[in-house]
């Protein structure tokens, strides 16, 4: 039989159609098995065996297609059909339709697999040498049957992470990077690939009264095999030290050599007081959320719980160090209703006490560094403390980021970005580090890179409110489009509502802006003294912008009273900010001389402050005050000075001169027009450090 005749016979007998249908069906089934296997506990080997079996079955299928024909009367042997007969068109159409259906199913399954499978991070995979001694600790499952015990499970995860971080030979992924993963994932190998680690630790905690059951298992990131597993049945009186035992077993399983000092550190429990430990773990849950979202209410709750823990164990150095850190951060964000000076004083004393109790504790060095940085603006002393923390733990992500903050505020964003890139490569899904990297580019006026990394932070953690807020700024400053800048601000969180209100003002939609501000509860957490204007002042300005001076007056009077009360609780640039807001209230009430005097006091504080970067916020408000008084001769020079300060781009940009109604009273002034032309001509701003966040 010639080749041409054979081909014609294959077509007549529909063997070719049968072969295509078989291949399409195998492809579709392979895609389906590949997606279902992980969920059912299987591996990629199932797919390989299926494809091998399908390849062996293909010749059998072809022979059957040659011997049998599908006819309207059913399946018949080819010998039963006359040689000159042809299969009706309806049968061939059905076969063609079947081929189309299986191919379509295969394409849909392939597309869904590409969409649903976890995306690898932008960071390149870790080198093989690093993978051999690297681990990620996934969030522990709370099996207690009581959601209130979730803090205990998260706390055990944190304690194990802390112990692991003290082993120099291990690369440990931070809690921030693993926060979005499930406690019992279907595919450990996929997570390990994303994080670039050799192994993943899964765990669960079940607490009933004073009894605790902790289950942990270490799983290989290469083949999902179990490297080690253990169950710990303890009471709260003898649960101390479990985290060190677990960390030691992980090091053994990954063949990581421990020094005598590291072995001793693993055996040392941070406290042996069960009440102190429980209070500490509760405090950590509040501190984590407070730090992530700049939420002073959460930080204040954490500080109170840390103090209670320390009252139960006065030698609890880790709790004292963490308390100092939270006190410094709380003061940095205006105190949340507490006296800033007292908070900074307490933070310094607590940091010194922690360092005396445990000089080799990295958390104590971090506490000393932040007390100097946030509390006193002493960048040199802060950097020394952060360097000591890095000497104790070279891979300590918190210390690396803290060093980046010091460099950034010191006017060296390039070096800061390099450190944050180091954190990103070491800890690829750390949304906080990505947020800070984006902010570093925002500070430097590189809005394109800022948008890139802030969006990446949100892909990893959509609940990162700071990333959403500053992404809005980056979009606004790069496009000059307040409507586009609204997109990241979805939801009813007060942080988002207030930013939406600001953007609506830039669009001159004052009534809608008023509704946003009115919807935010008037608490110190939402309107932070020393950092945000009081709610009464914001509403007063919105009434004035709508021409409702009668409605604005009592609100300005209320704001004046509230701001006078804030003067005793603030210091430094935060105090200058309060005076700037006082000036705004005096302007609203028509008190020109009092307004000018308040601005003068603000400017005097700024002139003596070492932190000129944080001074951009009161400088801007003072320029607004001058503009509202019609004093372009004072406002324009101050704006010129403002745009020369490194770091102004974090919260304001020259393009805002076109949008912001605050400048309407002097908009037609020749000097303002000249500034507007010069400032928006594309002249690059000097890079520097930010005024918020760090």
| pLDDT of 363 | 95
Give the DSSP per-residue string, 235-278. ETTS-TTHHHHHHHHHHHHTTPPPPHHHHHHHH--S---HHHHH
| pLDDT of 426 | 83
Same domain, 86 and 23: yes
Closest of 207, 142, 203, 133 to residue 171, by C-alpha: 133
The CATH number assigned to the domain holding 154 equals: 3.40.50.10070
Tell whether 633 is covered by a domain. Answer: yes
Tell whether 457 is covered by a domain. Answer: no
Please identify, among 69, 92, 116, the residue that sits at the C-terminal boundary of a domain: 116
Residue 339 has pLDDT above 50, yes or no: yes
| pLDDT of 647 | 76
Cα–Cα dist 550/146, whole Å = 53
Tell whether 386 is covered by a domain. Answer: yes
Segments forming the whole domain that contains residue 133: 128-269
| pLDDT of 261 | 87
Same domain, 565 and 672: yes
State what percent of residues in the chain have pLDDT above 90. 43
Confidence of residue 509 (pLDDT cuts 50, 70, 90): very high
The number of domains in the chain is 4
Provide mean pLDDT across the span 650-670: 94
Same domain, 50 and 148: no
Residue 413 has pLDDT above 60, yes or no: yes
Residue 43 has pLDDT above 80, yes or no: no
Query: How does the average pLDDT of the chain come out, rounded?
Result: 83
Token pair of 208 as six digits: 């009933």
Same domain, 105 and 139: no
- 458 or 236, higher pLDDT: 458
Provide mean pLDDT across the span 486-504: 94
Same domain, 36 and 133: no
Same domain, 324 and 219: no
Same domain, 659 and 534: yes
| pLDDT of 524 | 86
Tell whether 34 is covered by a domain. Answer: yes
Residue 57 has pLDDT above 80, yes or no: no
For 138-173, how does the pLDDT look when each residue is reduced to its tens digit (9 = 90+)? 988 888 777 778 888 888 888 888 888 888 888 888
pTM: 0.70
Same domain, 145 and 101: no
Residue 372 has pLDDT above 60, yes or no: yes
3-state SS class at 221: coil
| pLDDT of 45 | 54
| pLDDT of 161 | 87
State what percent of residues in the chain have pLDDT above 70. 78
Tell whether 483 is covered by a domain. Answer: no
- 453 or 72, higher pLDDT: 453
The CATH number assigned to the domain holding 539 equals: 1.25.40.10
| pLDDT of 116 | 43
Tell whether 405 is covered by a domain. Answer: no
Same domain, 665 and 534: yes
Please identify, among 89, 116, 143, the residue that sits at the C-terminal boundary of a domain: 116
| pLDDT of 305 | 97
Residue 645 has pLDDT above 60, yes or no: yes
Same domain, 264 and 304: no
Please identify, among 249, 269, 289, the residue that sits at the C-terminal boundary of a domain: 269
Tell whether 426 is covered by a domain. Answer: no
Same domain, 106 and 193: no
| pLDDT of 369 | 97
Confidence of residue 119 (pLDDT cuts 50, 70, 90): very low
Tell whether 462 is covered by a domain. Answer: no
Give the DSSP per-residue string, 562-616. HHHHHGGG--HHHHHHHHHHHHHHHHHTT-HHHHHHHHHHHHHHHHH-S-TTTTH
- 166 or 305, higher pLDDT: 305
Cα–Cα dist 680/411, whole Å = 23
Most confident range (mean pLDDT) of 111-125, 127-141, 659-673 is: 659-673
Same domain, 78 and 134: no
| pLDDT of 289 | 84
| pLDDT of 595 | 97
């Amino acid at each position: 039989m010639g080749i041409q005749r054979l081909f014609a016979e294959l077509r007549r007998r529909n063997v070719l159609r049968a072969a295509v249908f078989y291949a399409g069906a195998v492809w579709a089934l392979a895609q389906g098995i590949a997606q279902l296997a992980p969920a059912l506990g299987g591996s990629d080997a199932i797919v390989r065996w299926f494809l091998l079996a399908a390849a062996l079955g293909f010749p059998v299928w072809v022979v059957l297609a040659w011997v049998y024909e599908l006819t309207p009367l059913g399946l018949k042997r080819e010998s039963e059909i006359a040689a000159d007969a042809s299969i009706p068109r309806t049968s061939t159409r059905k076969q063609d339709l079947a081929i189309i259906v299986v191919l379509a199913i295969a394409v849909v399954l392939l597309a869904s697999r590409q969409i649903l499978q976890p995306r690898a991070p932008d960071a390149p995979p870790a080198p093989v040498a690093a993978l051999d001694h690297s681990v990620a600790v996934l969030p522990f499952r709370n099996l207690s049957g009581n959601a209130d015990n979730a803090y205990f499970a998260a706390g055990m995860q944190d304690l194990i992470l802390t112990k692991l971080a003290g082993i120099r030979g291990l690369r440990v992924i931070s809690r921030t990077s693993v926060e979005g993963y499930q406690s019992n994932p279907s595919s450990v190998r996929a997570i390990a690939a994303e994080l670039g680690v050799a192994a993943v630790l899964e765990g669960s905690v079940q607490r009933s009264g004073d009894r605790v059951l902790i289950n942990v298992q270490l799983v290989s990131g290469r083949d999902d095999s179990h490297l080690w597993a253990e169950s710990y049945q303890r009471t709260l009186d003898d649960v101390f030290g479990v985290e060190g035992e677990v960390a030691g077993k992980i090091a053994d399983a990954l063949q990581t050599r421990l020094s005598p000092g590291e072995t001793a550190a693993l055996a040392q429990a941070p406290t042996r007081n069960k009440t102190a430990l429980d209070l500490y773990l509760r405090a950590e849950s509040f501190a984590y959320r407070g730090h992530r979202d700049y939420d002073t209410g959460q930080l204040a709750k954490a500080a109170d719980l840390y103090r209670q823990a320390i009252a139960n164990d006065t030698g609890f150095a880790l709790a004292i160090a963490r308390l100092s850190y939270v006190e410094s951060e709380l003061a940095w964000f205006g105190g949340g209703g507490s006296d800033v000076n007292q908070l900074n004083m307490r933070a310094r004393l607590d940091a010194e006490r922690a360092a005396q109790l445990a000089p080799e504790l990295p958390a104590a060095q971090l506490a000393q560094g932040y007390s100097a940085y946030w509390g006193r603006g002493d960048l040199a002393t802060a950097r020394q403390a952060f360097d000591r923390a890095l000497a104790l733990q070279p891979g300590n992500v918190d210390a690396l980021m803290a060093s980046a903050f010091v460099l950034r505020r010191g006017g060296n964003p390039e070096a800061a970005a390099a450190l944050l890139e180091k954190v990103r490569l070491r800890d690829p899904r750390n949304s906080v580090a990505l947020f800070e990297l984006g902010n570093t580019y925002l500070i430097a006026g590189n809005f394109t890179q800022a948008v890139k990394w802030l969006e990446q932070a949100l892909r990893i953690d959509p609940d990162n409110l700071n990333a959403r807020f500053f992404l809005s700024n980056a979009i606004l400053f790069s496009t000059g489009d307040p409507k586009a800048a609204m997109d990241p601000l979805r939801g009813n969180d007060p942080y988002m509502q207030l930013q939406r209100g600001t953007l609506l003002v830039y669009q001159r939609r004052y009534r809608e802006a008023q509704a946003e501000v009115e919807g935010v509860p008037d608490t110190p957490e939402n309107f932070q003294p020393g950092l945000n204007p009081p709610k009464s002042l914001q509403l007063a300005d919105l009434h004035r912008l709508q021409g409702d001076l009668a409605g604005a007056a009592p609100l300005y009077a209320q704001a004046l009273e509230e701001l006078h009360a804030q003067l005793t609780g603030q210091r430094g640039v935060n105090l200058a900010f309060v005076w700037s807001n006082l000036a705004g209230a005096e302007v609203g009430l028509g008190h020109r001389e009092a307004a000018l005097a308040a601005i003068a006091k603000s400017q005097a504080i700024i002139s003596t402050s070492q932190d000129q970067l944080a001074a951009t916020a009161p400088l801007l408000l003072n320029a607004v005050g001058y503009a509202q008084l019609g004093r372009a001769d004072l406002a324009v020079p101050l704006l010129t000075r403002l745009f020369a300060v490194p770091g102004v781009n974090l919260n304001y940009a020259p393009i805002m001169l076109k949008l912001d109604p605050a400048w309407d009273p002097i908009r037609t002034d020749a000097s303002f027009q000249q500034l507007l032309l010069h400032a928006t001509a594309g002249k690059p701003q000097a890079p520097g450090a930010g005024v918020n966040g760090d």
